Structure 1
Amino acid sequence: MNPSKNTAFTLVELMIVVAIIGLLAALAMPVFSKVRQAARHSRLANDMRQFSDAINQFALETGDFPADTSVGQISDGLAKYIKVDSWHSRPIIGGSWDVARDGGSYICAVGVVDYEVTEAELAAFDKRFDDGDFSTGLYQKQDSGYFRIVQRR
């Protein structure tokens, strides 16, 4: 009879497997990060579009855009057009939702004030969904906010 043979993994074999798993994880992280950022950007663009559409509907039915209120507040009558829970929920980039009136290049805009993302992330968003310039186009950065223009001058 043959003596029983140990059939276990050696320490070297286990180290190689762990190294391969670590390498695969390191390769997957940048891809995951890009996908996550793209999802955040799409959600921000969609939320801003929905609020912009609601404000346009409000203006069509009332003959004027909603009043400029305190950050995070909904002006009288606008709650009929916007899901209040969505408005009061935290935007995907942090901060609070706001309607702005009578800015330099616009009559009305909707956006996020006191956002908590880097300028680089906002620039990537602007490049993907607009013209890549914070001072022109549909999306504009003003003071501590980033806005989608609802109505230009």
Structure 2
Amino acid sequence: MQAKHPRGFSIIELMVVTTTIGILALLSIPSIRIAVDRTEAAATANDIRVFTEAIEFFTTIKGTYPEAMTYTRMPNEIASYLPSPWKSGQYSWFYVNTENLTYVYLYNLSFTAEQAVRLDSIIDDGNIATGNVRMAYNGSGLVYLFQYYQADRESIPEINDE
């Protein structure tokens, strides 16, 4: 009599294969999440860079920074330069120009601190406490400083040529 060869896989073999695939999937999920976070930070950094270039371009032409603006109210020279996320309200932001300070504040980014540092390293110095890109109060968003003049200039000693 001839021995029968079973067709297909046994239940043990199927369980081993399924468990192995599950373990590999669990190991790859953090790597995929890190890649997504890095991509989001890089895309936002690029969008911020485009926004700052639009402001600097306007400043070069007009000789001064624009007044306060929002995504619904901005000069045509800036609006024509910006991509749609800035004009459609996809980013929550406001721009302020005062005597001592000119900045744009982006909020509701839902960024982790790691993403904010990555974004800062792409645009600035990699430290969210210094430079042009800074973390806003309580991590609520990011601030990009265009210009910053210290209000306390009288405390700087003057040099006398005596």
Q: TM-score if structure 1 supplies the norm length?
A: 0.77
Corresponding pairs, count: 145
Distance 1:130 1:149 in 2: 11
1:110 counterpart SS class: strand
Letter in 1 for 2:25: A
Letter in 2 for 1:98: F
**CA deviation vs aligned residue, 1:90-111 (integer Å, no higher than 9, x gap):** 24xxxx132232386xx32234
Contact persistence 1:126–1:133 (CA under 8 A): yes
Q: Are the structure 2 counterparts of residues 111 and 47 from structure 1 closer, same or farther at C-alpha, using a change threshold of 3 Å?
A: farther
Alignment-derived partner of residue 97 in structure 1: 93
Alignment-derived partner of residue 22 in structure 1: 22
Percent of aligned pairs with the same residue? 26
RMSD over equivalenced CA pairs, Å: 2.6
Cα offset for 1:2? 2.6
- Highest CA radius of gyration, 1 or 2? 2
Alignment-derived partner of residue 75 in structure 1: 74
Distance 1:126 1:54 in 2: 19
Q: TM-score if structure 2 supplies the norm length?
A: 0.73
Q: Are the structure 2 counterparts of residues 57 and 5 from structure 1 closer, same or farther at C-alpha, using a change threshold of 3 Å?
A: same
Letter in 1 for 2:36: R
Alignment-derived partner of residue 66 in structure 2: 66
What stretches of structure 1 of length at least 5 have no aligned partner?
A: none
Letter in 2 for 1:108: T
Distance 1:6 1:121 in 2: 54
Alignment-derived partner of residue 122 in structure 1: 116
Structure 1 segments (4+ residues) deviating >4 Å: none
